[in-house]
Structure 1
Amino acid sequence: MNLADICDNAKKGREYALLGNYDSSIVYYQGVIQQIHKHCQSLRDPALKVKWQQVRQELTEEYEQVKVIMGTLESFKSEKPVDVFAPPSDERPEDPAVWPPPIPAEHRNPVTVKRPNSAVKQQRKDSPGLQHRGAGPGGRGQGNLKPDRPGFRDVRGTKAKDDKGKKGVGEGAGDVEQKKFDGTGYDSDLVDSLERDIVSRNPNIHWDDIADLEDAKKLLREAVVLPMWMPDFFKGIRRPWKGVLMVGPPGTGKTMLAKAVATECGTTFFNVSSSTLTSKYRGESEKLVRLLFEMARFYAPTTIFIDEIDSICGRRGTSDEHEASRRVKSELLVQMDGVGGALENDDPSKMVMVLAATNFPWDIDEALRRRLEKRIYIPLPTAVGRVELLKINLREVEVASDVDLDLIAEKIEGYSGADITNVCRDASMMAMRRRIQGLSPEEIRALSKDELQMPVTMEDFTLTLKKISKSVSAADLEKYEAWMAEFGSV
């Protein structure tokens, strides 16, 4: 194939496009694109083949632009010409002598609502008989308008439709409208920030996504789910737990458990961090704490999840404690268990539960520790849990037949859940690293997806375990176990 012909055809296609001869330009573009395609099939050098494919892609984009221009010109030709010099019409619509009868309810379309056109708007504005029902003579025929007349709509129907439009996308007409917190008396910016950044109704994490930790799952179901199912039982001294503290090393699944609670239990989920309840203005942080619990009671049943709670409510009375920090802690304690009994409610449907997680339980204030009635330990995964974690993390990749998950689980004893996830991620990329080793950037781009989809082997895990070590020391585990022995409440 003569490369000079390809260059000449591309040049002619561009020149015809610039001159406005789009029909000839499209013919040349189609020909040169087909020529490059045949030329690419005959090439053996991957780098050269990539360059020709890039040229073909650029010419294809130019070809599509020329087609768009032709389509636009055709649409102009097909439109009906408008006489801009025609004199404007001075005719005004007149009131009909007889209004049409109302449409029966069974024939109405509840979805389609006709909007009044400009003529009817002008009619209602200029005709005094249309502004008040039954006003003046002939009010029976003109003024007694009903909302089901063609061309008109009731104001109440408009408001209902607008309110329905404010609901979430995808909700049908029969869905229940979600209630909106009334922030009267509070700064509207604070209310909007909490509504936008905290309220979460479906984090999409299920119990099956969390390996092991059966005791923790059982306790969280008892604290949140069962009161919803058996409200008559959970009253009085059997009232639901108002506070649960999850203690454990980093990466053991505390935050994942909180997300599973929000997904599985159907409660409104408030995800709170230290930055959420912190403000540079004096007194603003306390207001945020109070507003948070007011909104939680409004959206009840509610779960307030405070991750790394030691950063918000550390031990009071220390030398480095700031006055503003102490006020925030006091307000949080008052809202959890104050004189008003913010969380003391016998009705499970009005339940507000505080779910907290920390890696430093020994730094938490004593008063907060008392209010978090259930204190559970989230340990490192067991042998069975490690095998389940490996299966969960390897669900989306192909695993070779020589991979022994039980043997790998023995080698990763002492690893946290996050460590095991990192091991699986690194092992799944080993085959790709071997495949691209020594290749140039152009050759890497030319690789297809199927060439990189290779199974994970036992050798990949062996190499990975030589590089990735556990992140939790034996001394840290002893500290957690000693604290749980003293203050634990499972």
Structure 2
Amino acid sequence: MSLFEISENVKLAREYALLGNYSSAAVCYQGVLEQIKKYLFSVRDTALQQKWQQVWQEINEENKNVRDIMTTLESFQLDTAPSKPTNVNQDNDIWPVQVERRSSPCPVRRAPAPYKDNKQHNKRLSAGPRAQHHQPPRGPNGDRPKAPKGKEKKDNASKNKSDVSETEVKRFDRAGEDKDLVDTLERDIISQNPNVKWDDIADLEDAKKLLKEAVVLPMWMPEFFKGIRRPWKGVLMVGPPGTGKTLLAKAVATECRTTFFNVSSSTLTSKYRGESEKLVRLLFEMARFYAPTTIFIDEIDSICSRRGTSEEHEASRRVKAELLVQMDGVGGSMEYDPAKMVMVLAATNFPWDIDEALRRRLEKRIYIPLPSAKGRVDLLKINLKELEIANDVNMDKIAEQMEGYSGADITNVCRDASLMAMRRRIEGLTPEEIRNISRDEMHMPTTMEDFEAALRKVSKSVSAIDLEKYEKWIAEFGSC
């Protein structure tokens, strides 16, 4: 008998005990105890023998508990079950109780059928003795007493079932061959709460104001945003990399409490013919199902670049066409329902590469610039709020030296400065000495010298030529 079979038979014995089939459980437990005894003879390691003896004792204790329950039920049967039919009055009906006996061998455990499909479980489930159902005797007037209130029990059960179903999270179900694609989308891109607040984003007050007007206010004031004042179908955020476009989209989803779809080109791309278009269609179907929804398409220029170029592939053109069709159907109605809202947010670092038709559907186009002097100070405070700072650190001076840095660049400077004290402490030490350093010794504040050293190592990532291109495009196509 292998260890796997011993384990499976223990599980089977416990299942029998939980289902009230105590006689079968006792047989299985006894068989398992004998198997462990035989296995102990083949074990030579003393420590392993002690562990198996402890396992034998625990299983033997479970076996004793099962046998105690059987003894109790048998005594209960002898005390309550009458030997002969008894005439009872109409006020006190005696219902004889009989314990059902089951005997079955202890085979090697087989995989049980799913609970919902195993109809035999209804006959086996019991927390104790099962009563035999006899009709009660007739009363003096010839009428039988009323049966127990089974209807009320059924009503309560159906009520509890409805309560449970109300609390369950709805799930988009697509049977057939599309089910795998749906599972992929749900696993990769759905986030019920990104948990990014407006205060987590420094500066960008104009962008926040426009996003609140385009997305948040229609959720709060649905009666106002109707007809010609209906909310925008899509918003495009344009700007250099590292300026906070993705954080703004997550803040919108958090503020609106919508389901957040974070989409990239790899999510909607498949090597099989026709599946990329199907993924785009399923994405928008799921968005309408989970509405209100925010779909954030990052680096949208990689999905929907200009059509008609010599480098364009036929499959890429079909994906773009499907994306344009789906976006055109998101907000076509003049009536606005906040419970069915699907807002498309898109971000790109190359707005000049986007297709003209997509640019038309993204009705609001916002520029996300580099942080201002005040924004750089706020970013420093946000990044350093969990770090101990020395008294000589001057935030304004550091922010002044970081002119032209993006938000991601400022975060890199703060991260590098926070590591400077650790680098000084472990310099010249051996690996063993580094491992023996206590936490108190590593608790050192970050100084102004650390920030200056970090600024010398971390340079800005956005050039002046790129900034001119962004400003020129926004001046021509922007709608902020």
TM-score (normalised: structure 1): 0.70
Deviation of 1:453 after TM superposition, in Å, equals: 1.2
CA distance, structure 2, for counterparts of residue 489 and residue 117 of structure 1: 69
Aligned to 1:461: 451
For 1:330-369, list aligned pairs within 5 A.
330-338=321-329, 345-369=335-359
Aligned to 2:312: 321
| Runs of at least 5 residues in structure 1 that lack an aligned partner in the other structure | 1-17, 23-64, 101-114, 130-137, 165-174
Q: Is the 8 A contact 1:199 1:269 kept in 2?
A: yes
Say which SS state the counterpart of residue 287 (structure 2) adopts.
helix
Query: Among 403, 415, 420, which residue is 1:430 paired with?
Result: 420
CA distance, structure 2, for counterparts of residue 370 and residue 243 of structure 1: 9
Alignment deviations for residues 102-138 of structure 1 (CA, whole Å, 9 cap, x no partner): xxxxxxxxxxxxx978376999999899xxxxxxxx9
Say which SS state the counterpart of residue 212 (structure 2) adopts.
helix
Say which SS state the counterpart of residue 271 (structure 1) adopts.
strand
For 1:119-130, list aligned pairs within 5 A.
none
Aligned to 2:376: 386
Tell me whether 1:239 sits opposite 2:230 in the alignment. Answer: yes
Deviation of 1:181 after TM superposition, in Å, equals: 2.4
Tell me whether 1:217 sits opposite 2:219 in the alignment. Answer: no
CA distance, structure 1, for counterparts of residue 435 and residue 265 of structure 2: 44
Aligned to 2:197: 206
Alignment deviations for residues 325-368 of structure 1 (CA, whole Å, 9 cap, x no partner): 10111111111115x96576522332211100000000000000
CA distance, structure 1, for counterparts of residue 130 and residue 59 of structure 2: 38
For 1:239-258, list aligned pairs within 5 A.
239-258=230-249
Aligned to 1:479: 469
Tell me whether 1:419 sits opposite 2:409 in the alignment. Answer: yes
CA distance, structure 2, for counterparts of residue 242 and residue 99 of structure 1: 72
CA distance, structure 1, for counterparts of residue 94 and residue 302 of structure 2: 71
Deviation of 1:282 after TM superposition, in Å, equals: 1.5
Q: Is the 8 A contact 1:234 1:348 kept in 2?
A: no
Aligned to 2:124: 118
Alignment deviations for residues 122-159 of structure 1 (CA, whole Å, 9 cap, x no partner): 99999899xxxxxxxx997798771666xx99874685
Q: Is the 8 A contact 1:303 1:354 kept in 2?
A: yes
Query: What letter is aligned with 1:200?
Result: S
Aligned to 2:441: 451
Percent identity between the two aligned chains: 68
Q: Is the 8 A contact 1:343 1:353 kept in 2?
A: no
Query: Among 254, 258, 268, which residue is 1:267 paired with?
Result: 258
Query: What letter is aligned with 1:146?
Result: G
Say which SS state the counterpart of residue 244 (structure 1) adopts.
strand
Aligned to 1:410: 400
Judged with a 3 Å threshold, the aligned counterparts in structure 2 of structure 1 residues 67 and 280 are, in CA distance, closer, same or farther, namely same
Q: Is the 8 A contact 2:233 2:331 kept in 1?
A: no
Query: What letter is aligned with 2:313?
Result: H
Aligned length: 394
Say which SS state the counterpart of residue 475 (structure 1) adopts.
helix
Tell me whether 1:195 sits opposite 2:186 in the alignment. Answer: yes
Q: Is the 8 A contact 2:305 2:354 kept in 1?
A: yes
Judged with a 3 Å threshold, the aligned counterparts in structure 2 of structure 1 residues 75 and 479 are, in CA distance, closer, same or farther, namely same
Deviation of 1:178 after TM superposition, in Å, equals: 2.9
Q: Is the 8 A contact 2:259 2:293 kept in 1?
A: yes
Judged with a 3 Å threshold, the aligned counterparts in structure 2 of structure 1 residues 187 and 75 are, in CA distance, closer, same or farther, namely closer
CA distance, structure 2, for counterparts of residue 297 and residue 99 of structure 1: 60
CA distance, structure 1, for counterparts of residue 458 and residue 477 of structure 2: 34
Deviation of 1:79 after TM superposition, in Å, equals: 7.0
CA distance, structure 2, for counterparts of residue 422 and residue 345 of structure 1: 46
CA distance, structure 1, for counterparts of residue 316 and residue 125 of structure 2: 64
Judged with a 3 Å threshold, the aligned counterparts in structure 2 of structure 1 residues 153 and 213 are, in CA distance, closer, same or farther, namely same
Tell me whether 1:307 sits opposite 2:298 in the alignment. Answer: yes
Q: Is the 8 A contact 1:337 1:343 kept in 2?
A: no
Judged with a 3 Å threshold, the aligned counterparts in structure 2 of structure 1 residues 241 and 456 are, in CA distance, closer, same or farther, namely same
Q: Is the 8 A contact 1:286 1:331 kept in 2?
A: yes
Alignment deviations for residues 3-27 of structure 1 (CA, whole Å, 9 cap, x no partner): xxxxxxxxxxxxxxx997x9xxxxx
Query: What letter is aligned with 2:388?
Result: E
Q: Is the 8 A contact 2:292 2:342 kept in 1?
A: yes
Query: What letter is aligned with 1:245?
Result: L
Tell me whether 1:376 sits opposite 2:382 in the alignment. Answer: no
CA distance, structure 2, for counterparts of residue 273 and residue 139 of structure 1: 74
Judged with a 3 Å threshold, the aligned counterparts in structure 2 of structure 1 residues 186 and 226 are, in CA distance, closer, same or farther, namely farther
Say which SS state the counterpart of residue 187 (structure 1) adopts.
helix
| Runs of at least 5 residues in structure 2 that lack an aligned partner in the other structure | 1-43, 96-120, 136-141
Deviation of 1:261 after TM superposition, in Å, equals: 1.1
Say which SS state the counterpart of residue 431 (structure 1) adopts.
helix
Judged with a 3 Å threshold, the aligned counterparts in structure 2 of structure 1 residues 70 and 382 are, in CA distance, closer, same or farther, namely farther
CA distance, structure 2, for counterparts of residue 119 and residue 298 of structure 1: 38
